[in-house]
Chain A
Amino acid sequence: MKFSYYPGCTLKTKGKDLDRYGRLCAEALGVTLAELPDWQCCGAVYPMAKDEIATKLSAVRALASSRDEGTELVTLCSACHNVIKQVNHDMQTDADIALRVNNYLGLDTPYTGETTVLHYLEVLRDRVGFDAIKAAVKNPLTGRKIGAYYGCLLLRPGKVMRFDDPENPTILEDFIRAIGAEPVIYAMRNECCGGYIAVEDKGAAVKRSSAVLDNAAAKGADTLVTACPLCLYNLKKNGGRDDVAVVYFTELLAEALGVK
């Protein structure tokens, strides 16, 4: 199983663990992640503006280059995933944006949304399969009570992301079961952590993050897993509790597969 891999800037700086364990686990599961050559910033939040095409260009370069490789494109950071998938959707459904982007880029073959964008978790669920992961687990995390923290970017907008049910997702819970731990269901698991507002209004981020952690703790979680560097940052820095550990899901997977 070979995929093009888009790590994104955070995974090379603040979120090195998400990337490092992700690669180790992929290798252990027989998945080849070929990092795209010359990838650029996904565009961060800016491509969400509908009337702006310059900010979408770098995401389209990654998509087109994955198409030229003839492979599906795998992302790991929730934010990059969200941005690239939304830009891909624009290229598939908005003829005006597609035309202007292609005019600007002048690629040999115009890009019109041919690449399939997968999140690492979707590769685990749909390509490897949670049963196969269960079979590959060497150190099952038996007895651990782990809460899934989805945040917003993996799930929404639901019609574009088509990742899981945006209100009642199950993919991370299934993942937690596959690595031998017990998933803790808590209502705040798909609520916002505060996101970038932490930069401007720390109080708001504290309120949001602590509400998530308090709810998870009340339901008995000892650990939360996330796929998002920003969520991890907010929950750790602004969550106000240290009795609930917050880790990347790839780290727990690495632990379970015995490659950490």
Chain B
Amino acid sequence: MQRIGVFVCHCGTNIAGTVDVVAVAKALGQEPGVVFSTEYQYMCSESGQQLMRAAIREHKLTGVVVCSCSPRMHEATFRKAAALEGVNPYMVEIANIREHVSWIHKDMAEATEKAVILGRAAIAKVHLNAPLQAGESPVTKRALVIGGGIAGIQTALDIAEAGFEVDIVEKSPTIGGKMAQLDKTFPTLDCAACILTPKMVDAAQNEKINIFAYSELESVKGYIGNFKAQIRRKARFVDETKCTGCGICTEKCPQKKVPNEFNMGLDNRRAIYIPFAQAVPKVATIDANYCTMMKTGKCGICSKVCGTGAIDYTQKDTVIEREYGAIVVATGFNPIDAKVYNEYGYMDSPDVVTSLELERLMNAAGPTNGTLLRPSDKTHPHTIVFVQCVGSRCDETDERGKPYCSKICCMYTAKHAMLIREKYPDTDVYVFYIDVRTPGKNFDEFYRRAVEQYGVHYIKGQVGKVVEQNGKLHVQASDLLANEQLHIDADLVVLATAIEPDKTARSLGTMLTASMDTNDFFTEAHPKLRPVESPTAGIFLSGVCQGPKDIPETVSQASACAAKVIGVLAKDKLTCNPCVAHSDELLCNGCSSCEKVCPYGAISYSDKEFRGPNRTTLIRRVASVNPAVCQGCGACTVACPSGAMDLKGFSNKQIMAEVDAICK
């Protein structure tokens, strides 16, 4: 028989305001096995814990029931306190009488009755609890960072700085991500390349960092501390170890008509290319979809001009396997495709561009060498209209757009407007907005400068239509403050398109069993208190893959994420959760139901010898659980038809005892 102590918490008035805590303590004190029962104002406080520890000593308690808040809040606190007095932590049960009772009920009599019932259930469970010992598993001291944009680079640099190895896997030929495409950055207007490329070089030169560019994650197995990943290194058809990045091949390649994705398709590149001058690694890549040699077998010019013999048309993809202790998701974002908003004429006129396209049109390394020219006739635009919130902040039922605010558009539009007015003072610039949102250090000052010093016309209202006719863009819009219709003849229209998670995020989330929201942003373990961790242990989140962010915020989060990763890698051993599944081999009938439902691959089958009747030996196929891999989800215990599979700490018997206590 257990000797159980019951501790009822007031949580100030959080619980005591709705639940008669004295009555609860009194009622539970009458339950069989309960030798001590009390209530206290804050059980989680130091003095509350001291009270519990004294009671354990004095009454020689073997089990503890705390009636308080959710076990997500303070289960660990109470388990630690009990352990200090020599009681196994898994002999502590929490009855959640705050979130499940006081916060959701108004009537005190009802709430008190429910609190007593939940307390009884917890007592019934403690009667059947057994001490459990947590195991340990080793930690592979290397991190994997998926995505080589500014988020991934910063996280990798910080982890490497702490002395741990990091691999960056980047699907495009170079790291740098979206930031490499930007011209200037708000609110200080320093050039994006000038502040990004030193970090790219640092990453390349750091001995602890391995960059697998032009590579994609193929599969991930394992668990925190012990992940195994397969990485597909896509064939560049150029030997990375031989290529010096001299660029002769990219000048001589006769295939000149390949849309240049780095310049948002505003100009063309060759079939063999280096995305931009500061690319890391600075290695050429052959685009097999356009290469004449690869398609027809006739050409081979790049191979002839290459001084180091790096070109290899027969190169194949290779798959490498690496082990990691932690995985960082830094897959970033893309702007949505503006063609779904064709009322703004994106498909009708080349002079309707997205903001990212405008970045390239204003960038010195862009298709116009930094001179702002209309894509259609290469003339200087005199009237420019910016449309904000294209696809952001849409109605939930809108299939084309996103319900969320993309967060960066107000600021970059103010930046674009300001830069254009400064460089071309003869230009009229209009910005149509729903709201101007500029929270951030020096952000609102920046926006006001655009309005007050640079004379940008900010108009509250939406653009309804852009009609291209005879080279002009007729913009129909409404000015909500003046309550009038506006018609503006513009030369250039810029769409601040919403941002969305990279298309690869969804399949990656499935591969990592990391949860996502309905917009495909990765979900954090807690929206306020654990913002850089995924609920899946060992998976961490960096940058826009978790939600829209600007560069300063992305970099902060990237470093926070690195700190969390370092916390894992710094440990030699990780404590495992002892509440894992266990199979009773005598009951197991070898049906494989459990193996099929296990999401972690923790269950395997083997043939075992059993003693049969009359001294015979039987060989039966039975399940066994790898406790290091099992996450204790319980799916197998439900699937098992013979009742062989049980979850330690949450056995079928314990749960039925709780149900019985509730229904009594």
A residues adjacent to B (C-beta < 8 A): 159, 167-168, 185, 187-188, 191, 214-215, 218
- Taking a contact as CB atoms under 8 Å apart, the answer to whether A159 and B467 are in contact is no
> What are 7 A-B interface contacts by the 8 Å CB criterion?
A167-B342, A187-B348, A191-B465, A215-B467, A215-B469, A218-B469, A218-B470
- Taking a contact as CB atoms under 8 Å apart, the answer to whether A187 and B340 are in contact is no
Q: Is B343 an interface residue (CB 8 A)?
A: yes
Q: Which residues of A contact B345 (CB under 8 A)?
A: 187
Bound-complex Cα distance A187 to B343 (A): 7
The A-contacting residues of B in range 465-497, CB under 8 angstroms, are 465-470
Q: Which residues of B contact A159 (CB under 8 A)?
A: 397
Nearest B-chain residue to A190, judged by Cβ: B343
Q: Which residues of B contact A215 (CB under 8 A)?
A: 467, 469
Q: Is B446 an interface residue (CB 8 A)?
A: no
- Taking a contact as CB atoms under 8 Å apart, the answer to whether A167 and B343 are in contact is yes
Bound-complex Cα distance A191 to B466 (A): 11
Q: Which residues of A contact B397 (CB under 8 A)?
A: 159
Contact of B340 among A168, A188, A191, A214 (CB under 8 A): A168
Q: Which residues of B contact A214 (CB under 8 A)?
A: 469
- Taking a contact as CB atoms under 8 Å apart, the answer to whether A168 and B470 are in contact is no
Q: Which residues of A contact B214 (CB under 8 A)?
A: none
- Mask, B451-474, CB within 8 Å of A = 1, is 000000000000001111110000
Question: Within the complex, what minimum Cβ distance (angstroms) separates B395 from chain A?
Answer: 9
The A-contacting residues of B in range 400-424, CB under 8 angstroms, are none
Q: Which residues of B contact A168 (CB under 8 A)?
A: 340, 342-343
Question: Within the complex, what minimum Cβ distance (angstroms) separates B626 from chain A?
Answer: 52
B contacts with A, residue count (CB < 8 A): 13
- Taking a contact as CB atoms under 8 Å apart, the answer to whether B466 and A187 are in contact is yes
Nearest B-chain residue to A185, judged by Cβ: B348
Bound-complex Cα distance A167 to B469 (A): 18
Q: Which 10 A-B pairs have the closest CB atoms?
A: A187-B467, A168-B342, A167-B343, A218-B469, A215-B469, A215-B467, A218-B470, A188-B467, A187-B345, A187-B348
Question: Within the complex, what minimum Cβ distance (angstroms) separates A177 from chain B?
Answer: 17
Nearest B-chain residue to A217, judged by Cβ: B469
Q: Majority SS of interface residues in chain A?
A: helix
Q: Which residues of B contact A167 (CB under 8 A)?
A: 341-343
B residues adjacent to A (C-beta < 8 A): 340-343, 345, 348, 397, 465-470
Bound-complex Cα distance A199 to B127 (A): 86
Q: Which residues of B contact A187 (CB under 8 A)?
A: 343, 345, 348, 465-469
Q: Which residues of B contact A191 (CB under 8 A)?
A: 465
Question: Within the complex, what minimum Cβ distance (angstroms) separates B499 from chain A?
Answer: 21
Most chain B CB atoms below 10 A, which of A167, A185, A187, A188: A187
- 14 extra interface residue pairs, beta carbon distance < 8 Å, beyond A168-B340, A215-B469, A218-B469: A167-B341, A167-B343, A168-B342, A168-B343, A185-B348, A187-B343, A187-B345, A187-B348, A187-B465, A187-B467, A187-B469, A188-B467, A191-B465, A218-B470
Question: Within the complex, what minimum Cβ distance (angstroms) separates A155 from chain B?
Answer: 12
Q: Which residues of B contact A218 (CB under 8 A)?
A: 469-470
Nearest B-chain residue to A187, judged by Cβ: B467
Nearest A-chain residue to B466, judged by Cβ: A187
Q: Which residues of B contact A188 (CB under 8 A)?
A: 467
Question: Within the complex, what minimum Cβ distance (angstroms) separates B599 from chain A?
Answer: 39
Nearest B-chain residue to A214, judged by Cβ: B469
Most chain A CB atoms below 10 A, which of B340, B348, B467: B467
Bound-complex Cα distance A168 to B397 (A): 17
Bound-complex Cα distance A159 to B469 (A): 30
Bound-complex Cα distance A215 to B349 (A): 14
Bound-complex Cα distance A168 to B340 (A): 8
Question: Within the complex, what minimum Cβ distance (angstroms) separates A207 from chain B?
Answer: 11
Bound-complex Cα distance A45 to B342 (A): 29
Q: Which residues of A contact B343 (CB under 8 A)?
A: 167-168, 187
Bound-complex Cα distance A159 to B343 (A): 18
Bound-complex Cα distance A214 to B472 (A): 14
Nearest B-chain residue to A219, judged by Cβ: B469
Q: Which residues of A contact B467 (CB under 8 A)?
A: 187-188, 215
Question: Within the complex, what minimum Cβ distance (angstroms) separates B429 from chain A?
Answer: 23
Bound-complex Cα distance A111 to B577 (A): 61
Q: Which residues of A contact B469 (CB under 8 A)?
A: 187, 214-215, 218
Bound-complex Cα distance A159 to B397 (A): 9
Most chain A CB atoms below 10 A, which of B340, B465, B469: B469
Bound-complex Cα distance A167 to B343 (A): 6
Bound-complex Cα distance A132 to B466 (A): 35
Nearest A-chain residue to B470, judged by Cβ: A218
Bound-complex Cα distance A168 to B467 (A): 13
Question: Within the complex, what minimum Cβ distance (angstroms) separates B348 from chain A?
Answer: 6
Bound-complex Cα distance A218 to B345 (A): 15
Question: Within the complex, what minimum Cβ distance (angstroms) separates B389 from chain A?
Answer: 15
Question: Within the complex, what minimum Cβ distance (angstroms) separates A206 from chain B?
Answer: 16
Nearest B-chain residue to A168, judged by Cβ: B342
Bound-complex Cα distance A215 to B341 (A): 19
Q: Which residues of A contact B468 (CB under 8 A)?
A: 187
Q: Which residues of B contact A185 (CB under 8 A)?
A: 348
Question: Within the complex, what minimum Cβ distance (angstroms) separates A89 from chain B?
Answer: 15
Question: Within the complex, what minimum Cβ distance (angstroms) separates A127 from chain B?
Answer: 24
Question: Within the complex, what minimum Cβ distance (angstroms) separates A149 from chain B?
Answer: 14
Bound-complex Cα distance A168 to B341 (A): 8
Bound-complex Cα distance A185 to B468 (A): 11
Bound-complex Cα distance A167 to B345 (A): 11
Nearest B-chain residue to A167, judged by Cβ: B343
Most chain B CB atoms below 10 A, which of A167, A185, A215: A167
Question: Within the complex, what minimum Cβ distance (angstroms) separates B345 from chain A?
Answer: 6
Question: Within the complex, what minimum Cβ distance (angstroms) separates A240 from chain B?
Answer: 16
Bound-complex Cα distance A111 to B340 (A): 38
Bound-complex Cα distance A215 to B467 (A): 8
Question: Within the complex, what minimum Cβ distance (angstroms) separates A162 from chain B?
Answer: 12
Nearest B-chain residue to A166, judged by Cβ: B343
Question: Within the complex, what minimum Cβ distance (angstroms) separates A161 from chain B?
Answer: 14
Bound-complex Cα distance A185 to B469 (A): 12
Question: Within the complex, what minimum Cβ distance (angstroms) separates A247 from chain B?
Answer: 23
Bound-complex Cα distance A168 to B466 (A): 13
Bound-complex Cα distance A214 to B348 (A): 16
Q: Which residues of A contact B340 (CB under 8 A)?
A: 168
Bound-complex Cα distance A17 to B185 (A): 61
Question: Within the complex, what minimum Cβ distance (angstroms) separates B111 from chain A?
Answer: 36
Question: Within the complex, what minimum Cβ distance (angstroms) separates B159 from chain A?
Answer: 46
Question: Within the complex, what minimum Cβ distance (angstroms) separates A85 from chain B?
Answer: 18
Question: Within the complex, what minimum Cβ distance (angstroms) separates B215 from chain A?
Answer: 38
Question: Within the complex, what minimum Cβ distance (angstroms) separates B339 from chain A?
Answer: 9
Bound-complex Cα distance A187 to B465 (A): 8
Question: Within the complex, what minimum Cβ distance (angstroms) separates A190 from chain B?
Answer: 8
Nearest B-chain residue to A159, judged by Cβ: B397
Bound-complex Cα distance A218 to B472 (A): 12
Bound-complex Cα distance A108 to B243 (A): 84
Bound-complex Cα distance A113 to B345 (A): 38
